[in-house]
Structure 1
């Protein structure tokens, strides 16, 4: 891994959905093999990942009531903001209020809000590599410089804090921390998160905590929200219903100021936030209205079942990856829904890089993986394990067959 690089200020050329769409388009229509996509992090494509009846019934109930067909306040319905504040406060040493919560159209809009609020002349934001490319895209529209700090694959994808120190200057306004990790499948320990908070405090910058995969932890480390350290450093917490409740298409997210000392919440900033929400639309009113019941009435067994399934599929994924010689996985997934795998192109006779690998794999095996370059790492691939176990096994068996055909060592021996 190269050191943090101040020159990386160009946004990713394409979105994840864009590159996956191009990969899909490259597949021959007359292929007899069924398509298996392990590229997009949408678990609802598989029947083993479905939301529960409480979630569905809550929306039906609010829709049928005909009380939520009008506009909601631009910052979100009061009862929705209050419910999310109470939900997040369960894991914090202090209580959030509804005034700390702003409802967004998914976590993507929460990211856009965060970048917009932090934008000022010459500002830069520290973003992980690998990471989620939406940050670069949002920053490009706001003339905010992005500086990439490395995650360390051989240390559980921990933040390279030395790189953070080297990258930070007087124009740095924030550091983005994605936990549980997309695209790496890591979950940070309390101790490591505390070190990140201490580093941010030392540099007098705030933390943007991207916790869209919050609580989806099934390894050694439990999920710890970054807001736990809000008394040490201001934290902007971004999250959504999408992954934990398995409803990504509902686009219900939140932007939350976890800042008990009120450092971030000066009158000018709060007014700017409210004005920003005045010009951008949030999620449907009836979806918002369903949130209090969803948060209160969803049984723990639903979450447990999801985690058990993710643990099972992550185990299958890790085991199958080890059977493919051109792949190396530095760490077994500990959370979220995807894992990063290093691609050794020197073992392949006619593959140039990760982009070439993924396009040829799609064409020959009708399997979609995400090229690592899309998330910041050349010659890596991201594999989503939120899939039916049988489909996951078949897909990775096809990848193994693809390797065997393209291996420099085969020469027709297999």
Structure 2
């Protein structure tokens, strides 16, 4: 029939094998590198406290402390002396089983422990997938704005990237026409970040289905970065990309870093959402397994605590965290309206950050987004991330998941900075 879905046929011209790679490629700037550069401009004579609006780590603030259940689970696992051994490369079975059960709660099918690779946080998940994909001629599609770790890892592994735009006027939806124009027979995957980092958007069910159908049509699979899963506070619920695993294969990246406010614990995962078993035909899973066998393992006693953390954390803990983040998001958007030189095209609905556009025509002596950020940290001891770092020149990423009072103060300082540099009419 005319409307019948075409079968997913992988368009990569070769099967995947373990690849030797060198480290002589020029890396893209990472968020940490941008932060270090900006921190180097901090005015040491400013007696005011420093305000971080630049990274998604709210764990330093009392209102974002993790649940005692998670802390007790770690202590119990450590003191049990049952997790002092070298773990299997893919992770210990109880942890993989718990992750499979946790992710399956939101899916129309059940995952097995064999679908799970336990990693040392989301960064290692990205490293494993990108390195496993890297080979001559292959390319992947990345969102703009996006998370720069993908570009940095791809540059290190000599993997070509092509950028498609997220459209701010449409709630940062994927420009699907651009995706179709960019893809060719060597495009193997598209990265989708939901909830959105850095834009704070949440994709609807209908839009994610369109993404899956487009990926199927183009013969590529989806890498779904869902590190911020369930941190949503707008009108849209969180829908995992794995919901559409029967349409197109999906590799999901997740972690406990954001939802449990423990980024330093470095525990994440890669989950294969492929109920039709299509990825087995490509060699990608073999390549991932081969690289996992070469890489470092996440700490075993933290893996040992995962069944308790994922299985028994109280819903009240999650509700309170999301409630505080929503309060922060509301403060952020309200304060931004008082600063004429920055415009927020879309109120955040999830995650912990928002993209705002700089209007340089309203400012004197500010050349671009990096210049804005450097002078802001010198004059106001406030750090925000230049949009160039995430692919959007003359935009700014503001991370708002901190103590509400500190957030308000930081944004008031940005307002003072604007008033000092406002172009005289």
Residue-by-residue CA offset, 1:214-258 (whole Å, 9 max, x unaligned):
111110110000000000000000010000011001110001110
Q: Equivalent of 1:89, from 104, 109, 112?
A: 104
C-alpha distance in structure 2 between counterparts of 1:11 and 1:330, whole Å:
33
TM-score w.r.t. the length of structure 1 is 0.95
C-alpha distance in structure 2 between counterparts of 1:357 and 1:267, whole Å:
46
C-alpha distance in structure 2 between counterparts of 1:332 and 1:303, whole Å:
21
C-alpha distance in structure 2 between counterparts of 1:269 and 1:241, whole Å:
25
Q: CA deviation at 1:274?
A: 2.1
Q: Which residue of 1 aligns with 2:266?
A: 251
Tell me if 1:15 matches 2:30.
yes
Give the SS at the match of 2:206: helix
C-alpha distance in structure 1 between counterparts of 2:36 and 2:64, whole Å:
22
C-alpha distance in structure 2 between counterparts of 1:217 and 1:314, whole Å:
11
Tell me if 1:261 matches 2:280.
no
Q: CA deviation at 1:12?
A: 6.2
Give the SS at the match of 2:396: strand
C-alpha distance in structure 1 between counterparts of 2:98 and 2:250, whole Å:
19
C-alpha distance in structure 1 between counterparts of 2:55 and 2:283, whole Å:
39
Q: Which residue of 2 aligns with 1:113?
A: 128
On the 8 A contact 1:104/1:253 being kept in 2, the answer is yes
Give the SS at the match of 2:63: coil
Q: Which residue of 2 aligns with 1:140?
A: 155
Evaluate the alpha carbon distance shift between residue 113 and residue 207 of structure 1 in structure 2; reply closer, same or farther with a 3 A threshold: same
Q: Equivalent of 2:246, from 215, 218, 231?
A: 231
Q: Which residue of 2 aligns with 1:4?
A: none
Q: CA deviation at 1:18?
A: 1.1
C-alpha distance in structure 2 between counterparts of 1:270 and 1:401, whole Å:
53
Q: Which residue of 1 aligns with 2:74?
A: 59
C-alpha distance in structure 1 between counterparts of 2:60 and 2:35, whole Å:
15
Task: Give the aligned length.
Answer: 401
Q: Which residue of 2 aligns with 1:187?
A: 202
C-alpha distance in structure 1 between counterparts of 2:248 and 2:283, whole Å:
19
Q: Which residue of 2 aligns with 1:241?
A: 256
On the 8 A contact 1:12/1:374 being kept in 2, the answer is no
Q: Equivalent of 2:310, from 276, 295, 301?
A: 295
Larger mean CA deviation between 66-75 and 144-153 belongs to: 66-75
C-alpha distance in structure 1 between counterparts of 2:406 and 2:110, whole Å:
43
Q: CA deviation at 1:272?
A: 2.8
Q: Which residue of 1 aligns with 2:337?
A: 322
Q: Which residue of 1 aligns with 2:83?
A: 68
Q: CA deviation at 1:398?
A: 0.4
Q: CA deviation at 1:142?
A: 1.9
**Superposed CA RMSD:** 1.2
Residue-by-residue CA offset, 1:3-53 (whole Å, 9 max, x unaligned):
xxxxxxx97632101111121121121211110010011111222111001
Tell me if 1:29 matches 2:44.
yes
Q: Equivalent of 1:221, from 236, 241, 248?
A: 236
C-alpha distance in structure 1 between counterparts of 2:28 and 2:413, whole Å:
29
On the 8 A contact 2:74/2:301 being kept in 1, the answer is yes
Q: Which residue of 1 aligns with 2:58?
A: 43
Evaluate the alpha carbon distance shift between residue 258 and residue 390 of structure 1 in structure 2; reply closer, same or farther with a 3 A threshold: same
Give the SS at the match of 2:330: helix
C-alpha distance in structure 1 between counterparts of 2:397 and 2:267, whole Å:
25
Q: CA deviation at 1:267?
A: 8.7
Evaluate the alpha carbon distance shift between residue 279 and residue 12 of structure 1 in structure 2; reply closer, same or farther with a 3 A threshold: closer
Residue-by-residue CA offset, 1:174-226 (whole Å, 9 max, x unaligned):
00000000000000000000000000000010000000001111101100000
Q: Which residue of 2 aligns with 1:383?
A: 398
Evaluate the alpha carbon distance shift between residue 257 and residue 74 of structure 1 in structure 2; reply closer, same or farther with a 3 A threshold: same
- Any unmatched runs of 5+ in structure 2? 1-24
Q: Equivalent of 1:332, from 340, 347, 352?
A: 347
Q: Equivalent of 2:298, from 283, 290, 296?
A: 283
On the 8 A contact 1:259/1:265 being kept in 2, the answer is no
